[in-house]
Amino acid sequence: MTVALRESRILIVGLGLIGGSLAAALRQAGFGRLDSHEAGVGGAVERAEILACDPDADEIARGIEMGLIDRGDTRLETMVEGATLVVLAVPVLAMAGVMKALAACLDRAAPTVVVTDVGSTKAAIREAAVAAFGRMPASLVLGHPIAGSEKSGVAAADPELYAGHKVILTPEPDTDPAATARVRALWATTGAEVLEMDVARHDQVLARTSHLPHLLAFSLVDTLARQDERLEIFRYAAGGFRDFTRIAGSDPVMWRDIFIANRDAVLASLDDFDVGIARLRRAVERGDGDAMLATFDRASHARHYFESLLNQTSYQAEYQMQQHGKLRYRVSPGGGVIGRIRVPGDKSISHRSIMLGALAEGVTEVKGFLEGEDSLATLQAFREMGVAIEGPHQGRVTVHGVGMQGLKAPSGPLYVGNAGTAMRLFAGLLAGQAFDTELTGDASLTRRPMGRVADPLRLMGAEIDTAEGGRPPLHIHGGKALKGIRYDMPMASAQVKSCLLLAGLYAEGETRVREPAPTRDHTERMLSGFGYEVHRDGDTCWLQGGGQLIAAPIDVPSDVSSAAFFLVAAAITPGADLVLEHVGINPTRIGVINILQLMGADLRLENEHEVGGEPVADLHIRYAPLKGIDIPVDQVPLAIDEFPSLFVAAANAEGTTRLRGAEELRVKESDRLQAMADGLATLGVTHTLYEDGIEIIGGHYGGGRIDSLGDHRIAMAFTVAALRAGGEIVIDDCANVATSFPGFIDLARRVGLSLVEESSSEEGT
């Protein structure tokens, strides 16, 4: 919770663009108006003040004329008296002198005065503070607004300069928390987002993201400006040149100071850049198109991908909640379910097509690739490990395989967002690499158990560190010799099985996995499609390590898990007649089809055929009354991801539907048994919850407000439930639907659902 800004006298030392814009933003927010601050005895109203100190008297006069400050002076000692908050907005190399002057006259300030700064390097300013004060004062909170302009001076002050931008604070362990809160309040008043990190990390990050780009821009413009044909060069410069070199118009003195103050971090980032540019130069010299493509494609998609991390709730839910609040669905009762649609490609197969294509010899062409955030996270991870990947474009991806030993160490942690499948499969694949890696994900993924893959991988000789409770991030130590094992899985999990088979590719000898119940076999099928021999006998599959993969085309079928929501929608809606095209009907995935048919659904498979070793069909479903059943135990692992939608079918069936043996639902993106039970209770559906299942008595139910807990399948299930509800259903926290089902809203509306998407940033709106 942000503390309100309650300073009575703010002193800004240095009235240039940054200091002037801070004053302008505070004024725009109402600070310093007659009614903006109450103080004194008996409720008398005092006017809060903004003061300034600057060596240029003309800047002071201009600031007063613009209404940004109340008064100012060129002498610091005359302005400090009574100040409650001092902001040092001077160049980095001037900071030592200002700190010393401030220390000499700070006794004139308010007893609870807080000091902060705006410098873009923090270690040098911390050293200046220690030299001036003898230590880091508890009331000094170093900070850095990530905002600026190539313009300078108070005349360029912009009240919107900080709005929507980040301000990084770097408090010390013994910094007064109250002082930090007051500085947070200062920047929050300007509309900035306030973050915290330690000093060393700040300087490293800014050296790469701000200081290095400025250094390169200055160098490029200077290089071209010194050439004889410079007039022709600049005359014909296109927009890209202007965009990149705009920052070369920034204040030279300020940037000289920054490069001197943050020298070590700047040099380290410049060394990294030198390595990259040398690698690209070699590729150009050799005409190595694949190497150039890998670099360009990785950079292009990194730019878009990491921008999406800042703007998509499914990756950065907490960030989005601060900025815009959570996304919610408002679904009205009624509607028909009629038409022909094709849901997105199968997520499980999309993940595996990239993984195996990257490890194959040759070029793999993928059609029907799911362009959801989970799958895109897998794409980006392989780009960061040196794999050239073209696309995706309208579901088409081209993967230039590097072979079993061709992956390169990523420069940092591999972020897989919300993709539990990706993390578990990556764990097996990366356990056999020569380099260390770290796997991390979003807040939801970091709560999911990874010991189920880490433990058997350790039995194979892998060295893996996890967070408390066996949860992400996973630190995988490379260069370990893996040996094949015989492993009896304690739970039916295709992700665990696939993880061990992928590790087995790199293991000495045979890796054999037995599953207690059938699970999806996409990994085995695709390995065979890439020419790698996989054996199966009953409940056990195995492979021999040390082989190779040969590139093969992949046509990704539509995802039966995504189709399930529309199958249930049609099954419960009178008059429904819906065809879902080109859906994967892998025998290990058709539990939802089998269960709906057992419940009496009029569901037929048409146009059955195979693509890339995977069976597909058009699913034609018409409305028919459903009846409650005892769900067969052997169907549970075949429908584990589809149960949220099946629970909605059960709520609309005559009689009781019983599910047991589904404890796996407790450790998905949410505790799906509990989340669905809570939602059904809200709607008035009679049910009994068990540790490993649920009983649901079908009948009429009403509307209500559902918390999806950020779980996309919970959100979509209750969206479908609204078709037969007695009132409107409002579903909170729906942004993660894009994780597995991009385009869900459009398809839902197309077949007849009345669905409105809205922000819930203000409760009750």
Q: Note whether residue 320 is domain-resident.
A: no
Rounded Cα distance, 734 and 713, in Å: 9
Residues 423 and 278 in one domain: no
User: Which regions of the chain are under pLDDT 50?
Assistant: 1, 34-45, 310-325, 761-765
Q: Note whether residue 687 is domain-resident.
A: yes
- Looking at residue 764, its pLDDT comes to 37
Q: Note whether residue 308 is domain-resident.
A: no
The CATH code of the domain that includes 193 is 3.40.50.720
Measured over the CA atoms of residue 179, residue 183, residue 189 and residue 194, the dihedral's sign is negative
Q: Note whether residue 309 is domain-resident.
A: no
Among 498, 525, 555, give the residue marking a domain's end. 555
3-state secondary structure 599-612: CCCEEEEEEEEEEC
Q: Note whether residue 598 is domain-resident.
A: yes
Neighbour count for residue 481 (Cβ, 10 Å): 11
Residues 336 and 435 in one domain: no
- Looking at residue 765, its pLDDT comes to 32
The CA-CA-CA angle for residues 350, 354, 355, to 5°, reads 115
- Looking at residue 40, its pLDDT comes to 43
Q: How many CA atoms lie within 13 A of 111 on its CB side?
A: 0
Among 271, 287, 303, give the residue marking a domain's end. 287
**Hunting for tokens 């048919």 — which residue is that?**
597
Across the chain, which distance is largest between two alpha carbons, in Å? 88
Rounded Cα distance, 646 and 603, in Å: 14
Pairing of strands 471-477, 437-440: antiparallel
Residue span of the structural domain in which 108 resides: 9-197
Cβ 153 vs Cβ 20: under 8 Å: yes
Q: Which two tokens stand for residue 128?
A: 């200046």
Residues 420 and 500 in one domain: yes
The CATH code of the domain that includes 489 is 3.65.10.10
The CATH code of the domain that includes 251 is 1.10.3660.10
Beta bridge partners of 604: 620
Q: Note whether residue 189 is domain-resident.
A: yes
Residues 487 and 467 in one domain: yes
- Looking at residue 634, its pLDDT comes to 92
Binding residues for phosphoenolpyruvate: 347, 420, 448, 495, 672, 713
Residues 130 and 269 in one domain: no
Residues 503 and 582 in one domain: no
Please give the backbone phi and psi of residue 145, each rounded to the nearest 5 degrees, phi first: -75, 130
Rounded Cα distance, 422 and 381, in Å: 10
Residues 221 and 263 in one domain: yes
- Looking at residue 87, its pLDDT comes to 97
Q: How many domains does the chain have?
A: 4
Q: Catalytic site residues?
A: 641
Rounded Cα distance, 108 and 105, in Å: 6
- Looking at residue 739, its pLDDT comes to 64
Binding residues for 3-phosphoshikimate: 347-348, 352, 493, 495, 641, 668
Cβ 116 vs Cβ 125: under 8 Å: no
Cβ 354 vs Cβ 374: under 8 Å: no
Residues 722 and 642 in one domain: yes
Residues 176 and 228 in one domain: no
Q: What is the CA radius of gyration of the chain?
A: 30
Among 555, 581, 596, give the residue marking a domain's end. 555
- Looking at residue 320, its pLDDT comes to 33
Binding residues: 347-348, 352, 420, 448, 493, 495, 641, 668, 672, 713
Cβ 514 vs Cβ 686: under 8 Å: no
Residues 518 and 588 in one domain: no
Name the 3-class secondary structure at 587. coil
Total residues belonging to the chain: 765
3-state secondary structure 714-763: HHHHHHHHHHHCCCCEEEECCCCHHHHCCCHHHHHHHHCCEEEEEECCCC
- Looking at residue 423, its pLDDT comes to 94
Find the distance separating the first CA and the last CA of the chain, reported in whole Å. 20
Q: Note whether residue 310 is domain-resident.
A: no
- Please tell me the pTM assigned to this model: 0.60
Q: Note whether residue 319 is domain-resident.
A: no
Residues 516 and 599 in one domain: no
Residues 73 and 214 in one domain: no
